[in-house]
Amino acid sequence: MSSLCPNKDRCGSCAWSHIPYEKQLKQKLSDINGSFKLKKLGERVFEILPSPQTEHYRNRMDFVIDFEGRVGMREKGKWWKVIDNHVCFLGMERIEELFMMVRDWTKTAGLSFYDRKAGTGLLRYAVIRATTTDEAMVIIVTSKPELGERETLRKTLDLLTTSMTSTTSLIHSVNETISDVSFGTQLETISGSGFMEEVIADCRFRMTPNAFFQTNPYAAPMLLNTVREFAGDLSGKTVLDLYCGSGFFGIGLARFHLTPRVYDSEFPARMTASPTESFWREVIRSGGRRQSPTATTAAERASSASSSCPKRFKTLA
């Protein structure tokens, strides 16, 4: 990350920002092998593959809204304090543009801000996601609106949509718990499709608001290709994709290995992005004929799983 970041000494998101990237890779390699040695494991990492892009690469940023209306990242070691001056070299540039828009909206919407000590207030997080295909998603995470704020919230969210492009979805997410997390269980699409699509290694993936996806789309093809290499020939075999999120590995392996069965598993279910739908779109695109991923019990999946790991392996930065 750039040493020009004005918040590098305060922000809690970039602990290694003062270290040149090449030295970071060497340090990570040393830490990994040191951990293996400490646990008396016989494995060793010989190489860390560097990311092709080290700035503006993250496709998701979770911005905190504090009780005084500050919007941004938390200060280092201070969960209660938010930096209300956002200049970040991590998030994609599209995220930066949307952040400034959402920050201005937050301060002028006339809505209450969530107090994490008292457990009161409305606005909690602004999550912004983007893709390399120029799609984006803004997720406003709130507590359950009180009766007096419901109408105001809806009107101001509708107003926010007027500043967004047609390729940007606006989602209202409700977190009714006191848990300080940046997602909710109740989702409402205010505008847009309610999902994004990303293309990695010639595979198209669909992402819904709560679904996990690889946060560095520029390094993701390298990760997928490395897994394909280690997996070997999967023809006629079953792929068990645990904690699948958007089905990144299951779909990526099935697309190129003609795998007849892919079992995607995620808990809780809301964290997945309908990988079955993405899977079948890839089947149609590739002209393959594969069985639909079939729901099985956790015990059945576990008993049928097997793995093998090469003695020499690489990892990604």
Point out the domain boundary residue: 154, 171, 194: 194
Q: SS3 for 151?
A: helix
pLDDT per position as a tens digit, 7-19: 888 888 888 888 8
* Domain-embedded: residue 179: yes
How many domains does the chain divide into?
2
The length of the chain in residues reads 317
> Do 210 and 87 share a structural domain?
no
- At 265 the pLDDT is 75
* Domain-embedded: residue 276: yes
* Domain-embedded: residue 19: no
> Do 230 and 185 share a structural domain?
no
> Do 190 and 103 share a structural domain?
yes
> Do 301 and 257 share a structural domain?
yes
Domain holding 154, by residue range, is 60-194
> Do 299 and 224 share a structural domain?
yes
50 preceded by cis ω (within 30°)?
A: no
CA distance 32 to 49: 14
Point out the domain boundary residue: 145, 168, 194: 194
Point out the domain boundary residue: 140, 164, 194: 194
pLDDT per position as a tens digit, 302-313: 333 333 333 334
For the cut 70, the answer to whether the pLDDT of residue 202 exceeds it is: yes
133 vs 130, 167, 199, 215, 246, CA distance in Å?
8, 10, 7, 14, 16
Question: Any idea which residue has 């997410």 for tokens?
Answer: 173
* Domain-embedded: residue 222: yes
- Annotation-wise, does 47 bind a ligand? no
- Annotation-wise, does 266 bind a ligand? yes
Question: Computed from CA positions of residues 82, 109, 93, 130, in that sequence, does the dihedral angle turn out positive or negative?
Answer: positive
- Annotation-wise, does 214 bind a ligand? yes
pLDDT per position as a tens digit, 250-276: 888 887 776 667 777 776 655 555 555
Q: CB under 8 Å to 51, separation ≥6 — which residues?
A: 57, 216, 218, 219, 316, 317
**Does pTM top 0.95 for this prediction?**
no
